[in-house]
Amino acid sequence: MSLQSQAAVIGAQEFRRPQFNLLLAVMLGLVAIGVSAGLYALYVGHHQSLGVTREVPWGIAISTYAYLAIISTGLCALAALSHLFGGNNLAPLANRMVWLSIAAIMGAFLVIGLELENVWRMPLGVILYPNPTSNIWWMGTLYGMAVGIMMAELFLIITRRYKLAVILGVCAAVTELFANSNLGSVFASLNARPFWYGSQLPVFFLACAFLSGAAAIVLFTHGSFALRRKSLSKETFEAMQTGGKVMMLMIFLIGIATGWKFLNALVGSESLGNAAAVLTSGPLSNSFWVFEIGIGLLLPFVVLLVTRLESVQAMSLAALMILVGQFFSRLNLVVAGQIIPQYSGYEGMPAYHQYTATAPEIAIALSGIGVLGACFLIGEYYLGESFRHHHED
């Protein structure tokens, strides 16, 4: 039996099997339901089954794609930074971050693939008809390159060729960071949408990537040890504390950026002010104040500050709240930029365009979450020893 096979058997024996099997079944169920919903939408027509319209062409599927892609970037970047400049406390979590980064971007690819009505045109267009002037072409190309590099990096980690793996990890992180900022530019370059337009959004997405990546690795690391019924090693706990510090710093910076964005909107154009009002006092106000600001920023910061990063449970709770808040942040951003009519003020025009996610859309969005969760569980089952190598007792 090979070394990897022996490690897989040992890792399998450590798990709480009923809980593991139940979680894996739930995640795979989400994937199956989402794929079924995507095939149903393809059969009956996206215009019949999805809540998007000509006025609001992007909905929860696009926001979920951005959400998962941003998480992937954060995980990949933090994994690379953990080994640069002599390394830091995050190093014990680096191998797990590489696997989760691949899982997150694969979930994003599934969501965008199910959302596109003619998905088969995407790979053909990227390869056969490249368009370097298109932000979306660059986004797909860069994320595709990053996945390939990270898979090679993961293979080197499993085979314990760490020096070369670190080099590929840095290449993957640079590629993902460019892809992430380019994703922000897909929105920021649309001057017909004042709420998106401008140079802030690509940088904002990078900050959200580090916040989401730190939250994801803290939550999944705690989940890994809980499933194995093992206590955290000193090195792993210190790594999670460093992740908590990253979360606190990014919450502070994102809070400042969000505040200035809305303050500037008050003195900006009428369209920009109306779009901001949609979030602060309009139809998206509950989603904005309760989930994006309250659950996603304020409460996690308070929890981390009060507990002084000494409680694993508190850090995991804060991480979960951040991930929930970031999901709604992406959804609010996508929807708020579209529901203000471009020709508002005319008689007979609605104050807001309407958008409500349909059941197939929600299922498609959840399928991406299911891919991430299922890959986490499968990775812990088969690659747990590789994640712990050199770092955990």
Count: domains in the chain: 1
Its domain, for residue 42, covers 3-341+350-388
Mean pLDDT, to the nearest integer, of 162-173?
A: 93
Q: In angstroms, rounded to a whole number, what is the distance separating the alpha carbons of residues 311 and 35?
A: 38
Q: Are 183 and 139 in contact (CB under 8 A)?
A: yes
Q: How high does pLDDT run on average in the chain?
A: 89
Residue 183 is predicted with a pLDDT of 94
List the structure tokens of 188: 């920021």
Q: Are 190 and 57 in contact (CB under 8 A)?
A: no
Could you report the per-residue pLDDT of 188-216, keeping only the tens digit for each?
A: 998 888 889 888 899 999 999 999 999 99
How many helices (H) and strands (E) the chain has is answered by 15, 0
pLDDT band at 86 (very low <50, low <70, confident <90, very high): low
pLDDT band at 391 (very low <50, low <70, confident <90, very high): very low
* pLDDT above 90 coverage of the chain, percent: 65
pLDDT band at 245 (very low <50, low <70, confident <90, very high): very high
Q: Name the more confident of 31 and 275.
A: 31
Q: Name the more confident of 204 and 393.
A: 204
Mean pLDDT, to the nearest integer, of 89-108?
A: 95
230 within domain boundaries: yes
Q: Are 242 and 90 in contact (CB under 8 A)?
A: yes
Could you report the per-residue pLDDT of 324-358, keeping only the tens digit for each?
A: 999 999 999 999 999 988 776 667 777 788 899 99
Listing DSSP states for 322-343 in one string gives HHHHHHHHHHHHHHHTTSS-TT
204 within domain boundaries: yes
Q: In angstroms, rounded to a whole number, what is the distance separating the alpha carbons of residues 144 and 39?
A: 23
Residue 344 is predicted with a pLDDT of 61
pLDDT band at 392 (very low <50, low <70, confident <90, very high): very low
DSSP state for residue 91 in the 8-state scheme: G
pLDDT band at 102 (very low <50, low <70, confident <90, very high): very high
Q: In angstroms, rounded to a whole number, what is the distance separating the alpha carbons of residues 142 and 23?
A: 32
Whichever domain contains 59, its CATH number is: 1.20.1630.10
Give the three-class secondary structure for 179: helix
Q: Name the more confident of 369 and 386.
A: 369
219 within domain boundaries: yes
Query: Of the given ranges (31-35, 66-70, 120-124, 238-242), which has the lowest mean pLDDT?
Result: 120-124
> Is the model's pLDDT at 257 over the cut of 90?
yes
245 within domain boundaries: yes
> Is the model's pLDDT at 387 over the cut of 90?
no
Mean pLDDT, to the nearest integer, of 226-233?
A: 88
List the structure tokens of 302: 């308070």
Mean pLDDT, to the nearest integer, of 109-125?
A: 84
> Is the model's pLDDT at 154 over the cut of 60?
yes
Q: Are 126 and 77 in contact (CB under 8 A)?
A: no
Give the three-class secondary structure for 58: coil
393 within domain boundaries: no
> Is the model's pLDDT at 150 over the cut of 50?
yes
Query: Of the given ranges (60-69, 96-105, 228-237), which has the lowest mean pLDDT?
Result: 228-237
Which of 58, 24, 74, 76 has the alpha carbon at shortest distance from 365? 58
> Is the model's pLDDT at 11 over the cut of 60?
no
Q: In angstroms, rounded to a whole number, what is the distance separating the alpha carbons of residues 71 and 108?
A: 10
Residue 386 is predicted with a pLDDT of 80
Q: In angstroms, rounded to a whole number, what is the distance separating the alpha carbons of residues 381 and 69?
A: 24
> Is the model's pLDDT at 126 over the cut of 80?
no
pLDDT band at 264 (very low <50, low <70, confident <90, very high): confident
Residue 131 is predicted with a pLDDT of 87
Residue 184 is predicted with a pLDDT of 94
Burial classification of residue 189, based on how many CB atoms lie within 10 Å of its CB (0-12 exposed, 13-18 middle, 19 or more buried)? middle
73 within domain boundaries: yes
- Which are the contacts of 302, defined by CB distance < 8 A and separation ≥ 6? none
Residue 145 is predicted with a pLDDT of 94
